[in-house]
Amino acid sequence: MAGAKSVLFVTGLCPEGCYYCPISPQRKGRDVTFVNEVPVSDVRDIVDEIAASMSEGVGVTGGEPMLVLDRVVTAIRVLKEVFGKDFHIHLYTSGTGVSRSSLERLVSAGLDELRVHVLSKLSLDAVKTALEFPVDVVAENPVIPGSSKWLVELITELDRLGVRYVNLNELEVSELNADSLAMRGFKTSPNGRSVAGSRETALTVLMWVEDEGLEISVHYCPAIYKDRHQYPKRLNRRATATKRVFEEVEGGLVRWVELGHSGLARSLYLADMAIKLGEVFAIHPRIGRELRSGKVVEALPLSPRKVLNEYEVSEE
Ligand code: SF4
């Protein structure tokens, strides 16, 4: 909720073919690794990016992370060594490659939690095997509209097995799955981010869980929540950690003011109030507003910065 966890997207490879898979075409089916929005090539890059994001934990996802088990085990071991035992690590899988031997390696590297996307008997077998290990076992599924009967049966079985909690995610619409969802007759919600009916199905299931008084906890995560809260908060942490002296941070973005070559810019530079940034001078937005001069640049706090907007100070 605090955006305090990074996302380690460890590979885009996956043996499943879920029609609702939301992974972008740039990642889907490709053996690429990202931390949040940043491509990384080795474990040192992973540590650097997680440090820059001031994260207190990581979710390892994909694709199917178990297809690159060696990479995952190395990452978990190194992250625990660098950030300490309280750095929380959870791993998503649909069950492929989950066995006693792979779980032994993951748990001894420091894995805290296994989150299983339940697709088949293989997934449920993975849940059962993982319950034998000292690791939290959780199920996490997108909610297909109209699937409440299946979800009720699944949650009943997970409760019987002793699973700690279930996350139900509102089904997201993305560039990749929009056509596939439309072909199956699903409609997009007015917010443009999720499938109509997913929320209502999830709420039906939550009410059933409450009425039954089950031990297991069931959580519902709306798609818009990630955009409006989790993502900006995660960006805000990275912006705060990597803020340059001439930048201010607001709403997950960084902002500075640029001045071209002029007498004013040179005077500010000589007075240590401006910094040379390539061909221009950069000043703090506070100074730009005071002087009512310069161009405001707004960017995502990535390395290098990804510019989103430019406008004159006078337009603020
Ligand atoms: S298991 Fe996950 S990554 Fe693989 S196809 Fe299904 S939704 Fe996509």
Which pLDDT belongs to residue 232? 79
**Nearest CA to 236 among 258, 255, 219, 253?**
253
Residue nearest to atom 3 of ligand 1 (CA): 63
pLDDT of the residue at 235: 86
Average pLDDT, integer, range 23-43: 93
3-state SS record for 103-137: HHHHHHHCCCEEEECCCCHHHHHHHHHHCCCCCEE
Structural contact between residues 13 and 68, judged by C-beta atoms closer than 8 angstroms: yes
pLDDT at 253: 92
Residue 36, judged by CB atoms within 10 A of its CB (0-12, 13-18, 19+), counts as buried
- Give the range among 74-78, 187-191, 229-233 with minimum mean pLDDT: 229-233
Residue nearest to atom 6 of ligand 1 (CA): 18
Distance 20 CA to ligand 1 centre (A): 8
Q: Which residues line ligand 1 (CB under 6 A)?
A: 14, 16-18, 21, 23, 62-64, 94, 117
pLDDT value of residue 254: 94
Testing ligand 1's pocket by substitution, the residue of 23, 115, 171, 195 carrying the most ligand atoms inside 8 A of its CB is 23
169 CA distance to ligand 1 middle (Å): 14
Lowest mean pLDDT among 26-40, 79-93, 219-233: 219-233
Using one digit for the tens of pLDDT, what is the confidence trace for 152-186? 999 999 999 999 899 999 999 988 899 999 999 99
How many A from CA of 286 to the centre of ligand 1?
46
In terms of residues, how long is the chain?
Answer: 316
With bands split at pLDDT 50, 70 and 90, how would you rate the model's confidence at 303?
Answer: confident
Domains and CATH numbers, the chain: 5-234 (3.20.20.70), 244-315 (no CATH)
State the pLDDT confidence band at 208, using cuts at 50, 70 and 90: very high
Give the 3-state DSSP-derived string for 23-65, with helices as H, strands as E and coil as C: CCCCCCCCCCCEECCEECCCHHHHHHHHHHCCCCEEEEEECCH
Give residue 62 CA to ligand 1 midpoint distance, Å. Answer: 8
Pocket test for ligand 1, best of 19, 24, 93, 94 (most atoms within 8 A of CB): 94
DSSP strand pairing (113-116 vs 136-143): parallel
Partners of residue 2 on adjacent β-strands: none
What is the distance in A from the centroid of ligand 1 to the CA of 137?
19
Position 225 pLDDT exceeds 80: no
Band (pLDDT 50/70/90 cuts) for residue 231 is: confident
For residue 281 the two structure tokens come to 């001078």
Q: Which atom of ligand 1 is nearest to the CA of 62?
A: 3
pTM of this prediction? 0.83
Instruction: Say what the pLDDT of residue 4 is.
Output: 77
Residue with tokens 């697709």: 119
Residue 82 half-sphere exposure toward CB, CA atoms < 13 A: 21
